[in-house]
Amino acid sequence: MKIFTYPGAPNPRRVHIYLAEKGIEVPFERVDITKRENRTPEFIDKVNVMGGLPVLELDDGSHLAESIAICRYFEALHPDPPLFGSDPWDQARVEMWLRRIELNFMMPVGMVWVHGSPLTAAVMKNQIAEVADQNREIVRRYFQFLNEQLADRPYIAGATYSVADIVALCTYDFAGYLNELRPEQEHTDLHAWHERVSSRPSAAA
């Protein structure tokens, strides 16, 4: 068993943090996305037809892609501590917030990255500046929304740290470090949440 990954990229980082929270050790094999090693015909043919990371390779040679799918696989094998919710209500809330974060936060951040970053200009030859601008505004509004939601609870889905916090943290940091999108100073509850989850040992994974 091993995981094809590129440390620091937001989607692989989700799995790194998740495994660290669980105390699960899995060997990593670095695939350099800056050199497009994940887009070679061999990688696409033998590892992931979509060419994305991370990918879990099982001992029988089969492969499982997509970060949340990989986390769910390990959650079934190692249910404690629960990071997808401890009962049906908690599980449903975590799932709800996973969907919200991925669709309303990660997706617009990704659009800013694709259409607004000089680092992606060589790959995305037809960048549309207006798309980047529209999605920057969506992200700014979502920072405000998250700040309001976190006013009455310590974590994204409730009182307990979950995979929703992992996905939100990776998106938040991706937005700031590579897209220069950060919440306003007055978003104090969002800043407090970020400090809280960033201080966990797993965040350095």
What's the pLDDT tens digit per position in 110-127? Answer: 999 999 988 888 778 889
State residue 113's pLDDT score. Answer: 94
135: tokens are 């999605």
State residue 121's pLDDT score. Answer: 83
Residues pairing with 55 in the sheet: 4, 65
Query: According to the 3-state scheme, what is the secondary structure of 34-82?
Result: HHCHHHCHHHHHHCCCCCCCCEEECCCCCEEECHHHHHHHHHHHCCCCC
User: Are 162 and 62 members of one domain?
Assistant: no
State residue 8's pLDDT score. Answer: 85
Question: Which of 35, 56, 77 is the endpoint of a domain?
Answer: 77
| The amino acid at 180 | E
User: Are 52 and 106 members of one domain?
Assistant: no
| CA–CA separation, 14 and 21 (whole Å) | 11
State residue 43's pLDDT score. Answer: 97
User: Are 145 and 193 members of one domain?
Assistant: yes
State residue 74's pLDDT score. Answer: 98
Domain that holds residue 157: 88-204
| CA–CA separation, 165 and 133 (whole Å) | 26
State residue 103's pLDDT score. Answer: 98
Q: Is 83 a domain residue?
A: no
Stretches where the chain sits below pLDDT 50 are: none
Domain count of the fold of the chain: 2
CATH number of 182's domain: 1.20.1050.10
Q: Is 125 a domain residue?
A: yes
State residue 153's pLDDT score. Answer: 98
User: Are 58 and 131 members of one domain?
Assistant: no
User: Are 92 and 59 members of one domain?
Assistant: no
User: Are 63 and 94 members of one domain?
Assistant: no
State residue 122's pLDDT score. Answer: 78
Give 23: exposed, middle or buried? Use CB within 10 Å, 0-12, 13-18, 19+. exposed
Crossing angle, helix 188-198 and helix 129-149, to 10 degrees? 90
| CA–CA separation, 91 and 57 (whole Å) | 26
Give 59: exposed, middle or buried? Use CB within 10 Å, 0-12, 13-18, 19+. exposed
What's 106's DSSP letter?
I
State residue 46's pLDDT score. Answer: 96
